[in-house]
C-alpha cells in the first residue's frame, strides 16, 4: 500500500493550537495542585474499559487540551490507520509488509485476507500445534534423548524473541507448572550461556530457538554453543531442540532434525510477537497452553477496544495522545513505567523495547524529516523499590511523566501479617496512592532543599489481579498505545533500520577476528586506529591495565 | 562545617566560556566523524589508571573543551572538596554529617578523626566481626534452630540497603560459594515475599535485615512477615535473623535477640554503603570474606586515584566533567550504561539510584536555586541485548550519551565454540567495538529511513575481567564520578529530601487504612476525592473493572 503523504505535522492547525494551549498549561494557575481539585476531576479524566482502569487526572491536561488532542487524532486519521492495520493492509510501508500482531490473538471466525489468502487457518493451526506439543511435553510423551521428562526450558532468542516472553513468564510465574523452570539465553555474552549451563540438567532440558530469519548472529552463536554442549554430554540435539522461525528459514530445514518446528509469520514484527508462536511455545510449556490462551483472550479484548472504542473513550489512543502532548508540547524527554507489583518487573524492559524501537525515529513513513522529536526514553523499576532509588530526581530534579500501575489483588494473599496497622499489600497501596499525589501537588518550603515544586504528571492504571487475561490486556494496551503514537506522528512503528549500521560494522569487525583466528600472523593494520586498538587489546585476550 | 557559598555557577567566567565553546562544538566541522579521525585521537582522549581504561575519544569534546572543563573543576575546588570528604569533614551540610564511604574500604594504618575520635578501629572491628561470622556460618558452627547449616541468604532491605549488594552479588556470582543462594526481599509487595518463601528451605535460611534507622516501613513490614513465617514453621527467629543497623536502633536491641548484629555508621549514606557492613554481611556469606575483602581493595585503589590523581588524569573527575558537559552544554537529558557483560546486569539499576538520588536536585548545598539542571536520567541493559531493544532510538531518534563497558576476559572461557568464525566472546566484542563507532560516525543515505546522523557521544570503559577487585574499582569509579559531578554543580550529593513528601503522604494514607482495618465502619470521607476513590477501590480488595 502506498499511503498518501500526510501534511507536515508542525504545519497542521491542530498542532499549532496545541502549541498555543501548552503555553496556557504552563501558567501557574494550571499547576496540577489546582487542576486536581477541580470538581469531578477524576471522573472527567479517567476511563474504565476493556478490563483496565486508566486515570489521567494527574496529567497536565484540561478539557481543552484533551479536545485539541482528539482533534489532532482526527486530523491524522489514526483510527482509520489502526483499522487498516488490523485488516491486513501493508501499514509497514518501508518494508512493504502487514503488521498483524492482532491476528495472532484473534479468536474470530472471520477470515483475514492477505494477497487473497485467508491467514487465519494457519494461525489457528500453529496454535493447535503448540497446544498438542505442550500436552505431549507435560504428559511425558515427548522426552529427551535419555527418556527423561523435560523440566528446564531454555529460550534462545534476543530482542523481540526474548523481552516479551520474559515479561509474560515473570508476570505469570505464580501460575507456572510445578517443576517447570524457564531460562532466557539472549545475550551472546558467554557468561549468559555459562550461567544457564551451570544450573540446568541437560537430559531434561528443551532448548527453544526463536529467530524469524534464523540468521541473527547472537542466536546462531548461542544455538551452536548449545548444540555442542549437548553433544558433549552425549545427548542427541535432535531430541532437545525446538525452533520457532519463518517457513523455509535455515531453522525450518528438515535436514537438521529437531523435536518440532513452529512457524512465525512475516506479517508480525519481533517486538509485537509475544502472542504468536514466539511467546506461545515457551509460555505454553512453562504455564500450560490454557494459561497462554487466556492471555491471548485478554489481549484480544483490548485489541477490539483499541480498534472500536470512540477516540475519547479509547484507552490506548488517549494515552498515546497524552504521550505526544508530554513529549512535544510539554517537552519531557523520558517516561517511567512503575508497576507496584514485583512480578511486573520485566514490563518496563519490554515496553522500553516496544516503544523505543518502534518510535525512536526522525522521519515520517515516507522518509521525510518529521520536524519534531518522536519517541521517548522509557525506563522503570517496580514500586516501592523505585521510590528508594531514583524518585529523588522525580520529585526535586528533572521531571518526567510516570505510568503508575496498581494491582488490586496480589498473588500471595495468604500472607497477611500486620505491620504499622496494615498488611504489606496495603502498605504497597498506601505508597501507590501517595506518590502521584505528592508529585502533582508538591509542597512549598522556605528551605530550598525541602521545597517540592510539584506539577509533575503521572497516570495510574489499575488491574484487578495478575491473571493471564490482565497481562494480555496490559500488553495489548501498550502495543496499541505505541502504534497510535506512531500514527499521530505519521511515522512507521514497524521497521527498525536504526539497528542496521551497528550490525554492519560488527560484521566487518567479526570478519577481521575470524581472519585472525585462522591466521595469527594477520594484523589489524587496515582498521581505523581506534578499532585497531580494541582488536589488539582483545588479542591476546588479556591486558595489563 | 559551614561551607562558604560558591558563586552562582552560571555567573562563573569558566561556565560562560564553556557555553561559548559548546556553540563551536555544535558546528558541522566538529561532528564526531571528523574529530575521531584526528591524529592520536584515542591517545589524547583516553586514560589508563587504577586498573581501568577509560576512552572518551567518542565524546563530543576537543582539547579546548577539556581544558575549559578542567578550569571549571579548578574554579569549583572539587579536588579540595573531595579531600575534605575523605578526611571526614561534614560535607553533607544539610544533614550536618560526614560522608565517609571511602573509609569503609580503607586498609590504611592512618587514623581518621571525627569529633576527635579515630573511627578506623571501629571500622576494622566490624570487618573482623563479619569475617568471623562468615567463617562460623561456612564451617557449620553457626546453624539454624534445627541444626541445619545455612545455605539460603535472604537480604531484607530496600534502596541503598539493596541495590549495591544485589549489583555485587550478581557481578561476582561466578565466585559464589557452592550451595549458597542469595535472595533479595526489597519490595513491600507481598509477591516479593511470596516468591522467596516458595523457594527457600526455612530451616537453612538466614535473614539479614539491613536498615540504618530500623524504621523503614517496607523493611519493617517484610521483617515482621518473615518473623511470622519462621514462627509458623516452628523455627526460632532468634537463630535465623541477623541485623545490620545503627548502634542503638530498634534492630540493635538486645531484648530482641538475633544471631548477630552489625553496625552501620551515621557517616555513610545508604547508596554509598555497599562497602560497609551493608554489603559486607550478605556478600561475605555468599562469596566468602576473602572475596569481599578483595572487592574492598579494588574500591580503595580507585578511591586513592580519585583523591590524588591530577585533574586531567583523574578518571572519575574527567568523566564527571564530561557528564556535566553533556548535561548542561550539549543538553542531553539522559545517559545509558551498557555493560557488555551479563553479570553486570545490575550495574545500571545501582548507578541509577546512586546518581539520580545523589544529584537529582535543584538547589545548591546551601539551599539556593542552582539555575541549571543537575542530575540526569540513568538507564541501561547489558549489550548486546540493549542493541536489540532500544538502540533504534539511540541511532536514529533522540540521542543520549552512553557508557559502554567491556570486559576482556569472560568468566566462562571454557566455552569456545566457533560461530561465523568467532567465539561468542569475540562476537560480543565485535559489537562492543562497532556500536560506539556507528553512533559517532553515522552514515548518510538519501533514504531518510536509512540515514544515520551520527555525532552521538559515548565513552568506553574496559576491565580485564570480573574479578572482585575490578568490581570494587568500577563501583568506586561511579561513586567518585557522582560526587565530583555534585561538587562541580555545588550541590549536596548526600541528602535525599526529595523522598520525604511521598513518605509523609503514604503515612497519612496508611493511618486511614489502619483505622479501617480496626473498624470496618470507618469511611474515607475526609480524604480528597482521588485518594478516596483509590481507598474505596481497595476495600474490599476486589473491583469489577
A111 and chain B in contact, CB less than 8 A: no
Helix (H, G, I), strand (E, B) or coil at A158: coil
If pLDDT is split at 50, 70 and 90, which confidence band does B5 have? low
User: Strand, helix or coil at B267?
Assistant: coil
Tell me which residue of B273, B245, B271 sits closest to B260, measured CA to CA: B245
Task: Give which of A449, A451, A486 to mutate to test B binding, by max B Cβ within 10 Å.
Answer: A449
If 0-12 CB within 10 Å is exposed, 13-18 middle and 19+ buried, where does residue A230 land?
A: buried
Ranges A36-50, A137-151, A527-541, B404-418: which has the least confidence: A527-541
pLDDT for the residue numbered A2: 52
Q: With 50 as the cut, is the pLDDT of residue A258 above it?
A: yes
pLDDT attached to residue A366 = 86
Q: For A198-220, how does the pLDDT look when each residue is reduced to its tens digit (9 = 90+)?
A: 999 999 999 999 999 899 999 99
Is B464 in contact with A543 (Cβ distance < 8 A)? yes
Q: How far apart are CA B226 and CA B224, in angstroms?
A: 5
Q: Does B34 touch chain A (CB under 8 A)?
A: no
CA dihedral angle for residue A369, residue A370, residue A371, residue A372, rounded to 10 degrees:
-150
For the question of residue B179 being annotated catalytic, the response is no
- Contacts of A521 by beta carbon, 8 Å cutoff, 6+ apart: none
pLDDT at B69 over 60: yes
Examine residue A13 and say whether the peptide bond preceding it is cis (omega within 30 degrees of 0): no
| Angle made by CA atoms B472, B473, B476, in degrees to the nearest 5 | 85
pLDDT tens per residue, range B367-412: 899 999 999 999 999 999 999 999 999 999 999 999 999 999 999 9
Give the separation between CA A350 and CA A167, rounded to whole angstroms.
6
Question: Taking CB atoms and an 8 Å limit, are B42 and A533 in contact across chains?
Answer: yes
Is B8 touching A (CB cutoff 8 A)? no
Whether residue A393 lies within 8 A of chain B, CB to CB, comes out as yes
pLDDT at B495: 96
In chain B, the percentage of residues whose pLDDT exceeds 90 is: 93
Chain A positions touching B222 (Cβ under 8 A) are 424
B176 part of contact set with chain A, CB < 8 Å? no
In tens, the pLDDT along B177-210 reads 999 999 999 999 999 999 999 999 999 999 999 9
Where residue A451 falls among pLDDT bands split at 50, 70, 90? very high
Q: Give me the residue from A408, A497, A538 closest to B543, CB to CB.
A: A408
How many Cβ pairs closer than 8 A exist between chain A and B? 546
pLDDT for the residue B347: 98
**B327: nearest CA in chain A?**
A398
Q: Is A448–B363 a contact, with Cβ atoms under 8 angstroms apart?
A: yes
What ipTM was assigned to the predicted interfaces of this complex? 0.96
Classified as helix, coil or strand, A206 is strand
CA distances from B502 to A432, B87, B372, B499, B507 (A): 10, 34, 25, 6, 8
Q: A458 in contact with B at a CB cutoff of 8 Å? A: no
| Cα dihedral B512, B518, B523, B524 in deg (nearest 10) | 10
Interchain contact, B424 vs A160, CB within 8 Å: no
| pLDDT band at residue B18 under the 50/70/90 scheme | very high
pLDDT score at A305: 98
Is A542 a residue whose pLDDT tops 90?
no
- Mean pLDDT within B143-156: 97
Comparing CB atoms, the residue among B367, B381, B420 nearest residue A220 is: B420
- The reported pLDDT for the residue numbered B253 is 83
- The shortest CB-CB distance from A377 to any of B334, B413, B542 is to B334
Q: What is the pLDDT of residue A1?
A: 46
Largest distance between two CA atoms of chain A:
78
Enumerate residues 221 to 280 of chain A having a beta carbon within 8 A of any beta carbon in chain B: 221-222, 224-225, 228-229
Contact state of B162 with A415 under an 8 Å Cβ cutoff: no
Contact A421 B510 (CB under 8 A): yes
Alpha-carbon separation of residue B159 from A199, A387, B188, B244, B425 (angstroms): 29, 8, 12, 14, 33
Q: What is the pLDDT of residue B123?
A: 97
Question: What digits encode the pLDDT tens for the residues B484-530?
Answer: 999 999 999 999 999 999 999 999 999 999 999 999 889 999 999 99
pLDDT of residue B508: 97
Nearest to A192 among B192, B342, B535 (CB): B342
Which of A483, A403, A441, A302 shows the shortest CA–CA distance to A54? Answer: A403
pLDDT at A301 over 50: yes
- Asked if A387 contacts A207 with a C-beta cutoff of 8 angstroms, the reply is no
Distance between B320 CA and the closest CA of chain A, angstroms = 18
Spatial CB neighbours of A532, under 8 Å, sequence gap ≥ 6 = A524, A525
Give the pLDDT mean for A379-386: 97
CA-based R_g, chain A, Å: 25
> What's the mean per-residue pLDDT of chain B?
95
Annotated active-site residue in B20, B141, B503, B515: B503
Please tell me if residue B429 touches chain A, with a CB cutoff of 8 Å.
Answer: yes
Looking at every residue in chain A, the average pLDDT score rounds to 95
CB contact under 8 A, B499 and A442: no
Whether B531 and A36 have beta carbons less than 8 Å apart is answered as no
In chain A the first and final C-alpha atoms are separated, in Å, by 56
Q: What is the pLDDT of residue A493?
A: 98
Candidate from A334, A424, A448 with C-beta closest to B188 = A424
CA torsion angle B441 B442 B443 B445 (round to 10): -150
**A217 part of contact set with chain B, CB < 8 Å:** yes
Looking at the annotation, which residues of A are catalytic?
357, 388, 503
pLDDT at A250: 87
CB < 8 Å to A509, chain B: 429-430, 433-434
- Arithmetic mean of pLDDT, A14-25: 98
Which pLDDT score, from 0 to 100, does residue A440 have? 98
Confidence at residue A4, expressed as pLDDT on a 0 to 100 scale: 60
Contact across the interface for B395 and A340, Cβ inside 8 Å: no
Contacts of residue B522 in chain A, CB cutoff 8 Å? Answer: none
- Give pLDDT tens digits for B87-125: 999 999 999 999 999 999 999 999 999 999 999 999 999
- Residue B32: closest CA among B64, B13, B59: B59
Mean pLDDT of B319-326: 98
Nearest to A315 by CA among A190, A403, A253, A227: A403
Question: Distance from B482 to chain A by nearest Cα, in Å?
Answer: 14
Which of A52, A347, A389 has the highest number of chain B CBs within 10 A, making it the mutation to test binding with B? A389
Q: Confidence class of residue B544 from pLDDT cuts 50, 70 and 90? A: very low
Amino acid at each position: 500500500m502506498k499511503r498518501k503523504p500526510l501534511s507536515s505535522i508542525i504545519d497542521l492547525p491542530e498542532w499549532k493550537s496545541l502549541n498555543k494551549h501548552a503555553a496556557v498549561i504552563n501558567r501557574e494557575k494550571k499547576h496540577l495542585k489546582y487542576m486536581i481539585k477541580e470538581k469531578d476531576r477524576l471522573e472527567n479524566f479517567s476511563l474504565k474499559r476493556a478490563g483496565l482502569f486508566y486515570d489521567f487526572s494527574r496529567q497536565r491536561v484540561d478539557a481543552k487540551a484533551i479536545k485539541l488532542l482528539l482533534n489532532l487524532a482526527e486530523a491524522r486519521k489514526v483510527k482509520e490507520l489502526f483499522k487498516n492495520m488490523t485488516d491486513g493492509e501493508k501499514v509497514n510501508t518501508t518494508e512493504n509488509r502487514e503488521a498483524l500482531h492482532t491476528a495472532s490473538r484473534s479468536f474470530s471466525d472471520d477470515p483475514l485476507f492477505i494477497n487473497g489468502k485467508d491467514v487465519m487457518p494457519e494461525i489457528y493451526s500453529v496454535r493447535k500445534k503448540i497446544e498438542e506439543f505442550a500436552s505431549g511435553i507435560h504428559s511425558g510423551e515427548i522426552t529427551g534423548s535419555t527418556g527423561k521428562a523435560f523440566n528446564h526450558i531454555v529460550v534462545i532468542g534476543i530482542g523481540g524473541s526474548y523481552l516479551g516472553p520474559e515479561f509474560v513468564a515473570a508476570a505469570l510465574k505464580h501460575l507456572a507448572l510445578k517443576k517447570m523452570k524457564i531460562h532466557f539465553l539472549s545475550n551472546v555474552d558467554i557468561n549468559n550461556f555459562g550461567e544457564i549451563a551451570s544450573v540446568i540438567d541437560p537430559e531434561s532440558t528443551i532448548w527453544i530457538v526463536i529467530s524469524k530469519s534464523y540468521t541473527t548472529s547472537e542466536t546462531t552463536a548461542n544455538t551452536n554453543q548449545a548444540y555442542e554442549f549437548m553433544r558433549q554430554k552425549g545427548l542427541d540435539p535432535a531430541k532437545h531442540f525446538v525452533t520457532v522461525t519463518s517457513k523455509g528459514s535455515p531453522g525450518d530445514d528438515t535436514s537438521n532434525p529437531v523435536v518440532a518446528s513452529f512457524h512465525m509469520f512475516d506479517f508480525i514484527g519481533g517486538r509485537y510477537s509475544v502472542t504468536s508462536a514466539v511467546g506461545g511455545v515457551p509460555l505454553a510449556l512453562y504455564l500450560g497452553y490454557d494459561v497462554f490462551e487466556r492471555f491471548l483472550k485478554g489481549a484480544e479484548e483490548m485489541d477490539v477496544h483499541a480498534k472500536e472504542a470512540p477516540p475519547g473513550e479509547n484507552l490506548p489512543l488517549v494515552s498515546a495522545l497524552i504521550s505526544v502532548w508530554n513529549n512535544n508540547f510539554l517537552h519531557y524527554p523520558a517516561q517511567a513505567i512503575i508497576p507496584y507489583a514485583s512480578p511486573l518487573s520485566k514490563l518496563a524492559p519490554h515496553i522500553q523495547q516496544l516503544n523505543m524501537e518502534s518510535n525512536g525515529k526522525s522521519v515520517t513513513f515516507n522518509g521525510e524529516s518529521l520536524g519534531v522529536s518522536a519517541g521517548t526514553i522509557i525506563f522503570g523499576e517496580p514500586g516501592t523499590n523505585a521510590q528508594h532509588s531514583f524518585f529523588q530526581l522525580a520529585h526535586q530534579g528533572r521531571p518526567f511523566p510516570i505510568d503508575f500501575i496498581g494491582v488490586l489483588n496480589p498473588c500471595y494473599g495468604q500472607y497477611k501479617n500486620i505491620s504499622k496497622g496494615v498488611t504489606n499489600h496495603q502498605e504497597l497501596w498506601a505508597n501507590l496512592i501517595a506518590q502521584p499525589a505528592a508529585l502533582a501537588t508538591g509542597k512549598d518550603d522556605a528551605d530550598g532543599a525541602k521545597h517540592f515544586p510539584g506539577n509533575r504528571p503521572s497516570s495510574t492504571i489499575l488491574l484487578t489481579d495478575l491473571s493471564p487475561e490482565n497481562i494480555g490486556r496490559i500488553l495489548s494496551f501498550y502495543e496499541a498505545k505505541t502504534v497510535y503514537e506512531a500514527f499521530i506522528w505519521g511515522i512507521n512503528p514497524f521497521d527498525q533500520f536504526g539497528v542496521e549500521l551497528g550490525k554492519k560494522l560488527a560484521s566487518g569487525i567479526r570478519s577481521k577476528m575470524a581472519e585472525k583466528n585462522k591466521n595469527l600472523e594477520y594484523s589489524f593494520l587496515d582498521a581505523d586506529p581506534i578499532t585497531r586498538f580494541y582488536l589488539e587489546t582483545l588479542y591476546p585476550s588479556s591486558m595489563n591495565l
